[in-house]
Amino acid sequence: MSEYGKTFKAWRNAAGSTWSNYTRHAFVEGLGNGSLPRAAFLNYLVQDYVFLFHFSRAWALLAAKADTPEEMRIAASTIDGLVNHEMAHHIQTCAAAGIDEAALFSAEEEPENLAYTRYVLEAGYSGDFLDLLAALAPCVMGYGEIGARLSREATSTEYKDWIATYASDEYQKVCVDVGALIDAAVARRIGTLDNSPRAEKLAGRFETASRLEAAFWSMGLRA
């Protein structure tokens, strides 16, 4: 997915099978071929709402750590997109299934959910803008990659709305913009990743977050 930027491509390659374990997880394949049980999907949606709340907090923390007006503007737009569109979309979808927002927000947070968001937030608090971006990237771009692939490969229409959301031009543009934000942040803070002693640590953050994403899908299947 080189269209999401040079740094993403390097991190994705370095993550190896961890990346494919996440983006080609059984849950994902079930979205594509329609075999995913509805109960698992709803369980995932509820947990994902709680996830999006903490993920929005993490994007807000990124804005708090911005160094330039441009970094601030992209982070602010992303927070707006998450809070006022993606979370709102979850609320609507769940409402249609008879789950209201209060129930969503008060859902018991599963261990895999908690582990993932706290890892991302802590990476941001203890590190800098770039440490946080490396931990945020797998969710943003992984969903973009999954949405784009399933929109071509899906053999069922069961989960076409979910697929369409992440395959949409709008969401793909978010991935491209975040990829450009990452490349610019690397240029600004490191220069080039090659030969940088930080390269391994940043790639490690990306890989850990990808592993936590795969565990999140497995949690979804438990329902």
Least distance between a copy of itself and beta carbon 130 (Å) = 9
- Residue from 215, 157, 186 nearest 34 by CA: 157
Cβ atoms of 76 and 63 within 8 Å: the answer is: yes
How many CB atoms are located within 10 Å of the residue 33 CB? 14
- Residue from 86, 192, 208, 87 nearest 136 by CA: 208
**Phi, psi angles (nearest 5°) of residue 68:** -135, 160
One residue of 80, 100, 153, 170 binding a copy of itself per CB under 8 A? 80
Q: Which of residues 136-175 bind a copy of itself (CB under 8 A)?
A: none
One residue of 2, 17, 39, 69 binding a copy of itself per CB under 8 A? 69
Stretch binding a copy of itself (CB under 8 A), from 17-25, 29-37, 79-87, 141-149: 79-87
Is 184 a binder of a copy of itself (CB under 8 A)?
Answer: no
Integer CA distances (angstroms), 171 to 27, 85, 117, 167, in order:
21, 11, 21, 7
Tokens of 39: 């109960």
Cβ nearer to a copy of itself, comparing 9 with 188: 188
Stretch binding a copy of itself (CB under 8 A), from 31-39, 73-81, 147-155, 161-169: 73-81
Cβ atoms of 1 and 132 within 8 Å: the answer is: no
Determine the size of the site formed for a copy of itself (CB under 8 A): 49
Least distance between a copy of itself and beta carbon 21 (Å) = 14
Q: Which of residues 18-57 bind a copy of itself (CB under 8 A)?
A: 53, 56-57
Q: Determine the Cα–Cα distance for residues 18 and 220; give it in Å rounded to an integer.
A: 18
Torsion of CA 16, 151, 160, 45, to 10 degrees: 20
Share of the chain residues as helix, strand and coil, in percent rounded to the nearest 5: 80, 0, 20
Cβ nearer to a copy of itself, comparing 39 with 108: 108
Interface pattern 103-132 for a copy of itself (x via CB under 8 A): --x-----x--xx--xx-xx--xxxx--x-
Cβ nearer to a copy of itself, comparing 31 with 58: 58
Stretch binding a copy of itself (CB under 8 A), from 19-27, 33-41, 76-84, 150-158: 76-84
At residue 185, the 3 state secondary structure works out as helix
Tokens of 166: 């992440």
Residues of the shown chain interacting with a copy of itself in the complex, contacts defined by CB under 8 A: 53, 56-58, 60-66, 68-69, 72-73, 75-76, 79-80, 83-84, 87, 101, 105, 111, 114-115, 118-119, 121-122, 125-128, 131, 187-191, 195-198, 208, 211-212, 215
